């Protein structure tokens, strides 16, 4: 099929790995006629909450009747779900039209750079007025920062992440995120940050966005994510009714997503750094009994596994280690070692499905990486 050939061609670019910079993406977009310059772009950077903010804002714009393209990463349940138009995954023919045009001029671009150009060109071809674009990693040198005509730069909560690339201090990470504030765009920062971080961005001209209380997703952090999206929408001139409707309609995939099946409550959460585990920790502390809870955990090799597993200690009667299906996956033995350090009852499973079969708790949380969630969701849905 056509899309399979396109995906294979994109996969062939993966050998380039991660090679940061905006020049190659800018060159592709220029060759495509500067499609990004014909849309109002909202750029989202930060450590946690980027995908949620992008989804809240997307649903708000859709509720307001605005033609909107959304590009996020990584995929959660469906590759094409990273490319959405009006909140729905992209039409395959449209994706192929855009990707084939990009692949002809990709040269030595990385896969993510080609995907960024594909998203923006597809949104242009679809007649989008707005494009909501999530940073892949960092900000300054991320491929998404090649865009022109950026209307808003949104900064979510910030903490230590990807220290081998972004630096080992919060100052360095803040500087990378701040790189998306350019070309005269207006900047907003989430109130879910330390005073020091807020002051850093205020000195760059950013305005602080507070909470939004009518949020359908569990976790205080989500009130800040929705608040940032709501404030962005106000700056775009969107009416309050659309803001309210959009936030109420938002259900971010893989972020404290709960599913009831087989008499159990399954929680699918892509939390992958200590701060992002707060909603799951709070939920399990408040609504689940440790002696009736199982945790299935896996992570990528660049994550602080000890800090992540430590945050879950005492919240479950068992933890089951699994290895993610990703080239960046941490080895199962290392995951199990960390789990054993913080849990008296730790075991390992060959796959997420096997772990779900082993889990004996009434509440079962699958967490540590978005890459775990697709297999978990498929397994659970067969039991609905």
Size (the chain), residues: 384
Q: How many CB atoms lie within 10 A of CB 99?
A: 26
Give SS3 for 320.
strand
The token pair at 118 is 């594909």
C-alpha distance from residue 377 to each of 299, 308, 380 (Å): 17, 22, 5
**For every one of its 384 residues, what pLDDT tens digit does the chain have, with 9 covering 90 and above?**
699 999 999 999 987 777 888 999 999 999 999 999 999 999 999 988 999 999 999 999 999 999 999 999 988 999 999 999 999 999 999 999 999 999 999 999 999 999 999 999 999 999 999 999 999 988 999 999 999 889 999 999 998 666 566 666 888 999 999 999 998 999 999 999 999 999 999 999 999 999 998 888 888 889 999 999 999 999 999 999 999 999 999 988 899 999 999 999 999 999 888 888 999 999 999 999 999 999 999 998 888 899 999 999 999 999 999 999 888 899 999 999 999 999 999 999 999 999 999 999 999 999 999 999 999 999 999 988
The token pair at 179 is 């790189």
Rounded to an integer, what distance in angstroms lies between the CA atom of residue 70 and that of residue 59? 10
**Residues 345 and 245: beta-carbon distance below 8 Å:** no
Q: What is the pTM of this model?
A: 0.92
Rounded to an integer, what distance in angstroms lies between the CA atom of residue 218 and that of residue 298? 22
β-partners of residue 346 are: 319
């Amino acid at each position: 099929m056509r899309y399979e050939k396109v995906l294979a061609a994109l996969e062939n670019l993966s050998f380039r790995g991660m090679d940061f910079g905006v020049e190659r993406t800018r060159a592709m977009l220029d060759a495509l006629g500067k499609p990004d310059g014909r849309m109002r772009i909202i750029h989202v950077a930060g450590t946690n909450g980027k995908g949620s903010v992008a989804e809240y804002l997307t649903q708000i714009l859709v509720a307001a009747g605005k033609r909107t393209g959304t590009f996020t990463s990584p995929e959660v349940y469906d590759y094409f779900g990273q490319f959405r138009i009006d909140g729905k995954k992209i039409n395959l023919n449209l994706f192929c039209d855009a990707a084939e045009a990009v692949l002809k001029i990709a040269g030595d671009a990385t896969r993510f750079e080609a995907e960024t150009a594909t998203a923006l060109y597809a949104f242009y071809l679809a007649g989008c007025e707005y494009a909501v674009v999530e940073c892949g990693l960092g900000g300054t040198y991320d491929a998404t920062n090649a865009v022109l005509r950026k209307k808003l730069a949104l900064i979510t909560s910030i903490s230590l992440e990807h220290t081998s690339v972004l630096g080992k201090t919060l100052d360095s990470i803040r500087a990378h995120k701040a790189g998306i504030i350019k070309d005269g765009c207006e900047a907003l920062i989430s109130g879910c940050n330390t005073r020091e971080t807020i002051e850093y961005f205020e000195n760059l001209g950013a305005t602080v966005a507070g909470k939004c209380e009518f949020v359908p997703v569990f976790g205080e952090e989500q009130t800040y994510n929705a608040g940032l999206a709501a404030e962005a929408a106000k700056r775009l001139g969107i009416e309050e009714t659309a803001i309210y409707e959009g936030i109420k309609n938002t259900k971010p995939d893989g972020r404290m997503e709960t599913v009831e099946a087989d008499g159990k409550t399954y929680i699918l959460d892509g939390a992958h750094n200590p701060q992002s585990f707060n909603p799951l920790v709070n939920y399990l502390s408040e609504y689940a009994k440790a002696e009736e809870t199982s945790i299935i955990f896996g992570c990528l090799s660049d994550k602080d596994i000890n800090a992540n597993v430590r945050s879950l200690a005492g919240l479950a009667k068992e933890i089951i280690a699994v290895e993610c299906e990703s080239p960046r996956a941490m080895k199962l033995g290392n995951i199990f070692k960390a789990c054993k350090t913080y849990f008296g009852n730790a075991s390992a499973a060959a796959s997420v499905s096997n772990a779900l079969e082993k889990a004996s708790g009434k509440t079962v949380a699958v967490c540590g990486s978005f890459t775990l969630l697709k297999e978990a969701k498929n397994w659970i849905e067969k039991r609905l």
